Amino acid sequence: MARPIIAIVGRPNVGKSTIFNRIIGDRLAIVEDRPGVTRDRLYGIGEWLNQSFSVIDTGGIEIDDEDAILKSVRVQAELAIEEADVIIFMVDAKAGVTPSDEEVAQLLFRSKKPVVLAVNKVDNLQRQDEIYEFYSLGFGDPIAISGSHGIGIGDMLEAACAHFPDKKDEEYGEEVIKFALIGRPNVGKSSLTNAILGEERVIVSDIAGTTRDAIDTPFERDGQKYVIIDTAGMRKRGKVYENTEKYSVMRAMKAIERADVILIVIDGHEGIIEQDKHIAGYAHEAGKAAIFVVNKWDIVDKDDKTMHQFTQKIRDHFLFMTYAPVVFVSAKTTQRLHKLLPVVMQVAENHALRIQTHVLNDVVSDAVAYNPPPTDKGKRLRINYATQVAVKPPVFVLFVNEPELMHFSYERYLDNRIRAAFGFEGTPIRILSRRKSSDDE
């Protein structure tokens, strides 16, 4: 199931990025005391009372300013509003209700989405009375918060979580492999969908962003049931929306969360750009199985070395995803397309693979015997026991004497040895170190 989505919206410089950083527990957003610093939407994962959700930090909305950056920021905020289940509308207690706040309020009323009104910069009890003028915005009880002091964040999140949609049972069974095509606009995701299905089910156009929504299409091939999720492009037109680098990320994230396998579609003719790395990073961080699909291979000038050279470029650019296989196809001519679904099935199986505990411990013991952990200040890591605790992705817990002695380089070595023993092509694996306790006996 996809996580519910909260968008933090408001005019510039009301403290949205500070609150965003507090919610996700990381300093992803640049915080600076001048308007318009947050240029792009930022995305993170938050949790409150065991409820996990996605959160979007938007640039501030400035309605009347004709500056190109502020116009673009407003567009991004509108798109975030469109994707969100709940909106946190943030205002500034020190500034009071401004004309821009009133304009933002009108925008939010039109969205018909649940809105939680958060009044930031209420840093002490003496400022508590300053929240009452915000009743005039029409969103019910304002919630006093302070991003700099962490006051009221829990109350704000509790109010937001109360508006989350009810969880629905997954509409597809465990035996169905769900895979999503993600990538920047106009790399051929919809054309690939049609080619795989063998029919024109999705609108295909040379104009970037013509796919309006994520489209689920169930189908069956060689006795295996699949659902293909074609991620949306952009919903609106206009020059700002045709800046194709930024606006499909949220829908891609929603598709990633619902899928078992992610097909990262790259334009073989244009090559790899920075945006491809960002998109692939979301799949990796979500722990999904992944395949690089290089499309438009029919129009690439090539010789017997071109495929190997392009594969090496992918390895160089995506160092964090060396486990992902690379498939070269052409949606237009269906060249090599028959190779794709068998790879999807294989990486889906690896993503769900569970290793017997005694076999895993044999592999880890052999790895340690072959290359013992280095010492650190006279202490040496000792691995007592290993077990697999999850699949999709496979997660392994190592019970050790001192977790802090597990250096990332040795963890990478163990990752490589586990992969060498069991395959796991196409899926990330996670290795966690835990101190052995008496309860683990």
| Nearest-5° Cα angle at 304, 189 to 345 | 40
What is the average per-residue pLDDT within 301-320? 92
Question: Does the annotation list 387 as a binding residue?
Answer: no
Does 322 show up as a binding residue in the annotation? no
How far apart CA 229 and CA 170 sit, in angstroms, is: 14
Mean pLDDT, rounded, for 65-87: 70
- Reported as a pLDDT band with limits 50, 70 and 90, residue 226 is very high
Closest CA to 143 of 124, 120, 127, 161: 120
Q: Is 15 annotated as a binding residue?
A: yes
Neighbours of 370 (CB within 10 A): 9
- The pLDDT assigned to 71 comes to 65
The answer to whether 423 is a known ligand-binding residue is no
Asked if residue 60 belongs to a known ligand binding site, the reply is yes
- What is the pLDDT averaged over residues 95-100? 90
Supply the pLDDT for residue 125. Answer: 74
pTM attached to this predicted model: 0.68
Q: Which residue has the tokens 């606009």?
A: 185
pLDDT at position 233, please?
Answer: 42
3-state secondary structure of 102: helix
Residue 16 among known ligand-binding residues: yes
- Report the candidate in 256, 237, 261 with the shortest Cα–Cα distance to residue 247: 237
Instruction: Determine whether the annotation assigns residue 121 to a binding site.
Output: yes
Q: Tokens 């994707």 — which residue?
A: 83
Model confidence at 433: pLDDT above 50: yes
pLDDT above 90: residue 290? yes
> Could you report the per-residue pLDDT of 315-357, keeping only the tens digit for each?
999 998 999 999 999 999 999 999 999 999 999 999 999 999 9
Q: Look at 75-79, 143-147, 203-207, 430-434 and tell me which has the smallest mean pLDDT.
A: 203-207
**Model pLDDT, residue 420:** 94
Cα→Cα distances 307→7, 21, 264, 291, 304, Å? 42, 42, 17, 16, 7
Does 58 carry a binding-site annotation? yes
Please tell me the predicted confidence (pLDDT) of residue 189: 85
- Distance CA(375)–CA(354), nearest Å, equals 31
| Contact between residue 24 and residue 45 where contact means Cβ atoms under 8 Å apart | yes
pLDDT value of residue 316: 93
To the question of whether residue 332 is assigned a binding role by annotation, the answer is: no
Quick check: helix, strand or coil at residue 328? strand
pLDDT tier for residue 364 given thresholds of 50, 70 and 90: very high
pLDDT computed for residue 170 by the predictor: 56
CA angle 335-323-308, nearest 5°?
45
Residue 322 one-letter amino acid? T
Q: Is 50 annotated as a binding residue?
A: no
The model's confidence at residue 236, banded by pLDDT at 50, 70 and 90, is very low
Which residues neighbour 65 within 8 Å (Cβ) at sequence distance 6 or greater? 71
- Region 237-242 average pLDDT: 38
The answer on whether 184 is annotated among ligand-binding residues is yes
Please determine, for residue 69, whether its predicted confidence score (pLDDT) is greater than 80: no
Q: Is position 239 annotated in a ligand binding site?
A: no
Reported confidence tier of residue 148, pLDDT bands at 50, 70, 90: confident
Go through the domains of the chain in sequence order and give each one's CATH number.
5-161 (3.40.50.300), 177-351 (3.40.50.300), 357-440 (3.30.300.20)
- Asked whether residue 206 is marked as a ligand-binding residue, the answer is no
Per the annotation, does 189 bind a ligand? Answer: yes
Q: Bigger pLDDT: 324 or 197?
A: 324
Structural contact between residues 434 and 406, judged by C-beta atoms closer than 8 angstroms: no
Tens of pLDDT, residue by residue over 17-48, are: 888 888 888 654 444 444 443 344 467 788 88
Q: Please report the pLDDT score of residue 51 as a whole number.
A: 85
The C-alpha angle with vertex 37 and arms to 35 and 40, in degrees rounded to 5, equals: 125
From the CA atom positions of the chain, what is the Rg in Å? Answer: 24
Mean of pLDDT over the chain? 82
213 is in an annotated binding site: no
β-pairing verdict for 375-376 and 379-380: antiparallel
Q: Confirm whether residue 61 is marked as ligand binding.
A: yes
Q: Is 17 annotated as a binding residue?
A: yes
Q: 120 a known binding residue?
A: yes
Residue 237: the pLDDT is: 37
Residue 173 labeled ligand binder: no
What does the pLDDT read at residue 441?
47
% of the chain residues with pLDDT over 90: 44
Helix H or strand E encompassing 42: strand 42-48
pLDDT of residue 84: 86
State what percent of residues in the chain have pLDDT above 70.
80
**Known binder of ligand: residue 13?**
yes
* Residue 32: exposure state from Cβ atoms within 10 A (0-12, 13-18, ≥19): exposed
- Is 251 known as a binding-site position? no
Cα distance between residue 34 and residue 12, in whole Å: 8
Which pLDDT does position 100 carry in this prediction? Answer: 84
Q: Which residues pair with 227 in a beta bridge?
A: 178, 218
Query: Is 295 annotated as ligand-binding?
Result: yes
